[in-house]
């Protein structure tokens, strides 16, 4: 039996409750109580106050459902103005970039995602626009095998696999900074720029043009993903090897369940920390992650659902996938994106 407090402090393995920091469960709970004393504010929803001011915890489940900060860039509510191709990443005959590339050092496979422009709506009926240039996104979540190559090459401690096995399982127990260091290492080896996706990039790639709760529809179905109630052999127990389920329409795997995935966007969806761009690598506050995990119920796995945790936290339900930037694609489409938005604004 496995018990996990959603604040990310207590886990139960083999009947012995321990905190993710290695403290006994009682000590972990005591620290949690001490951290939350005096941190709640009048007028905040019950269960949200501690995570509003305590950098060491993820937000409570009740906050995810009821609190304003749970509202991320739900692309299903945005109007898609233009996309380069409805059928695939690039228009026919365009040889600017291949639709798939593979990194030689790690074997990571990247899928080329088409650029798009969205109208998001705005105050007093004004139109706001978000345009995304084409980019490559990891076809799979980064695995232990891939991350371990980086860790061994740089002399880092290997992340804990919880006894579930390494190899093709998605890496867990990695912080935002671990993921950023992996991306920096891969960038230097490959000569291509790699980074975490923004929330908009993550959801755009995960939806692959869909507007439903899940890539395949509004019902979680049976054995389509790994979660606590998805009907898979791994449900609620541990991660599955990447690629164990069918990909979305653009060939991106595991965008629902298995592990949640770090983004480079801040938790706070405001002009200073927009979820459509990356924030400073030196920012220590909470980062958003998407996707839900093997331990989450289906209602926490919708494509628009977001969660967050302190950037330095490592847990057994959060991993990551990378973006590889495509400068040639940006040069190809930059002017056309601006024109599409200008024409829409003029109507």
pLDDT in tens, the chain (347 residues): 333 333 333 332 333 333 333 333 344 433 333 333 233 333 333 333 444 433 333 433 333 444 455 567 888 888 888 665 433 444 433 446 889 999 998 999 999 999 999 888 766 566 688 888 999 999 999 999 999 999 999 999 999 999 999 999 999 999 999 999 999 999 999 999 999 999 999 999 999 999 999 999 999 999 999 999 999 999 999 999 999 999 999 999 999 999 999 999 888 756 555 777 787 666 667 889 999 999 999 988 999 988 889 899 999 999 999 999 998 886 544 434 444 443 343 34
- The residue among 66, 58, 293, 275 whose CA lies nearest residue 171 is 293
Whether 66 is covered by a domain: the verdict is: no
How does DSSP classify residue 269?
-
The enclosing H or E element of 82 equals strand 79-83
Q: 107 and 152: one domain? A: yes
The answer to whether residues 50 and 57 touch, using CB atoms and an 8 Å cutoff, is yes
Report which of 205, 197, 209 is spatially closest to residue 275, judged by C-alpha positions: 197
| Residue 238 covered by a domain | yes
**Domains in the chain: how many in total?**
2
**CB neighbourhood size of 68 (10 A):** 9
Domain presence at residue 3: no
Q: Is residue 64 part of a domain?
A: no
Q: Are residues 50 and 180 in the same domain?
A: no
Determine, yes or no, domain membership for 4: no
Q: Indicate whether 117 and 18 sit together in one domain.
A: no
Same domain? 100 vs 196: yes
Residue 328, helix vs strand vs coil: helix
1 assigned to some structural domain: no
Within 13 Å, how many C-alpha atoms sit on residue 135's CB side?
23
Question: Residues 150, 216: one domain?
Answer: yes
* Parent domain of 33: 10-59
């Amino acid at each position: 039996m496995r018990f996990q407090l959603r604040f990310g402090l207590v886990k139960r393995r083999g009947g012995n409750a321990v905190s993710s920091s290695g403290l006994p469960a009682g000590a972990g709970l005591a620290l949690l109580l001490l951290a939350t004393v005096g941190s709640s504010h009048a007028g905040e929803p019950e269960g949200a106050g501690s995570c509003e001011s305590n950098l060491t915890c993820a937000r409570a489940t009740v906050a995810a459902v009821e609190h304003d900060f749970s509202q991320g860039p739900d692309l299903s509510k945005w109007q898609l103005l233009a996309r380069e191709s409805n059928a695939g990443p690039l228009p026919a005959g365009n040889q600017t970039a291949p639709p798939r590339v593979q990194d030689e050092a790690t074997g990571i496979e990247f899928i080329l995602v088409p650029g798009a422009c969205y109208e998001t709506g705005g105050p007093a009926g004004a139109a706001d626009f978000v345009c995304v240039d084409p980019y490559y996104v990891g076809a799979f979540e980064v695995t232990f095998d891939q991350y371990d190559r980086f860790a061994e090459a740089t002399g880092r401690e290997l992340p804990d696999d919880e006894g579930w096995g390494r190899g093709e399982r998605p890496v867990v127990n990695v912080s935002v900074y671990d993921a950023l260091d992996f991306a920096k290492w891969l960038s230097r080896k490959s000569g291509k720029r790699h980074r975490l996706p923004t929330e908009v990039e993550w959801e755009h790639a995960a939806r692959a043009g869909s507007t439903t709760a899940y890539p395949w529809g509004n019902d979680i179905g049976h054995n389509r993903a790994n979660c606590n109630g998805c009907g898979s052999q791994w449900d609620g127990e541990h991660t599955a090897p990447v690629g164990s389920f069918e990909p979305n329409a653009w060939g991106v795997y595991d965008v629902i369940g298995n592990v949640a995935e770090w983004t480079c966007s801040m938790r706070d969806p405001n002009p200073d920390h927009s979820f459509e761009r990356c924030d400073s690598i030196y920012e220590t506050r909470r980062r958003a992650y998407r996707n839900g995990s093997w331990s989450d119920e289906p209602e926490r796995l919708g494509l628009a659902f977001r969660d967050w945790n302190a950037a330095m936290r490592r847990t057994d339900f959060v991993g990551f996938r990378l973006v590889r930037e495509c400068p040639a694609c940006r040069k190809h489409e930059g002017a056309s994106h601006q024109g599409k938005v200008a024409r829409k604004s003029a109507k």
